[in-house]
Structure 1
Amino acid sequence: MPKTRLIATSVATLSCALGVGYFMQRTGGPETTGRMAASVMLAPQPAVTAEPLDLSQIILASAPADIAAMDAAEEPMVIEPQPLALPADCTVSVAASTVEPASVALDIAAPCNRNDRITVHHSGMMFTLATDTTGAASVTVPALNSDAIFIVETPTGGAVASAEVPSLSDYDRVALQWTGETGLQIHAREYEADYGSGRHVWTGHAESDGPVGGSVVRLGDPDTLNPRLAEVYTFPASRAVESGTVALTVEAEVTEANCGRDIAAQSITPRGAESAPRTRDLVLSVPDCDAKGDFLVLNNLLDDLKIAAN
Structure 2
Amino acid sequence: MFVVRNYVTMCGTVACALGIGYLMQNGTAAQPNGAQEGVSVASVTDQASVLAGLEGLVLTSSSPSEPASNGPVSTSRTLRPAPVAPQKQANCTINARAMAVAGANARLSIKAPCHSDERINIHHSGLTISEKTDKNGTLNLTIPALSEYAIFLISFEDQTGTVATTHISDVALYDRVALQWQGETGLQIHALEFGASYGEQGHVWSNTSAQGTGDVVRLGRSSWGNAQNVEVYSFPTGQSNRSGAIALSVEAEVTEANCGRDLSVQSLELRADQRLRSHELSVTLPDCSQAGEFLVLNNLLQDLTIAAK
Q: After TM superposition, is the score higher than 0.5?
A: yes
Q: Which residue of 2 aligns with 1:265?
A: 265
Residues 1:14 and 2:15 are matched in the alignment: yes
Gap runs ≥5 in structure 2:
18-87
The CA RMSD over aligned residues, in Å, is 2.3
Please tell me the residue identity of whatever aligns with 1:290.
S
Q: Which residue of 1 aligns with 2:233?
A: 233
CA distance in 2, matches of 1:6, 1:221: 26
Q: Which residue of 1 aligns with 2:211?
A: 208
Q: Which residue of 1 aligns with 2:140?
A: 138
Please tell me the residue identity of whatever aligns with 1:140.
T
Judged with a 3 Å threshold, the aligned counterparts in structure 2 of structure 1 residues 116 and 190 are, in CA distance, closer, same or farther, namely: same
Judged with a 3 Å threshold, the aligned counterparts in structure 2 of structure 1 residues 87 and 259 are, in CA distance, closer, same or farther, namely: farther
Whether contact under 8 Å (1:187, 1:248) holds in the other structure is yes
Q: For 1:1-310, what aligned pairs fall within 5 Å after superposition?
A: 2=4, 13-15=14-16, 88-156=90-158, 157-205=160-208, 208-209=211-212, 213-224=213-224, 226-271=226-271, 275=275, 277-310=276-309
Judged with a 3 Å threshold, the aligned counterparts in structure 2 of structure 1 residues 159 and 189 are, in CA distance, closer, same or farther, namely: same
Judged with a 3 Å threshold, the aligned counterparts in structure 2 of structure 1 residues 192 and 87 are, in CA distance, closer, same or farther, namely: farther
Whether contact under 8 Å (2:5, 2:293) holds in the other structure is no
1:166 aligns to what SS in structure 2?
A: coil
Which segment is superposed worse, 264-273 or 166-175?
264-273
Whether contact under 8 Å (2:177, 2:269) holds in the other structure is yes
Please tell me the residue identity of whatever aligns with 2:229.
L
CA distance in 1, matches of 2:142, 2:232: 12
Compute the TM-score of the two structures, normalised by the length of structure 2: 0.71
Judged with a 3 Å threshold, the aligned counterparts in structure 2 of structure 1 residues 223 and 92 are, in CA distance, closer, same or farther, namely: farther
CA distance in 1, matches of 2:224, 2:234: 26
Q: Which residue of 2 aligns with 1:33?
A: none
Q: Deviations over 1:78-104 (max 9, x none)?
A: xxxxxxxx9622121111110010000
1:169 aligns to what SS in structure 2?
A: helix
Whether contact under 8 Å (2:206, 2:217) holds in the other structure is yes
Whether contact under 8 Å (2:120, 2:156) holds in the other structure is yes
Q: Deviations over 1:133-163 (max 9, x none)?
A: 1111110000000110000011230010111
Identity across the alignment (%): 44
Compute the TM-score of the two structures, normalised by the length of structure 1: 0.71
Please tell me the residue identity of whatever aligns with 1:171.
Y
How many residue pairs end up in the alignment?
237
Q: Deviations over 1:95-149 (max 9, x none)?
A: 1110010000000111111100000000000011110111111100000001100
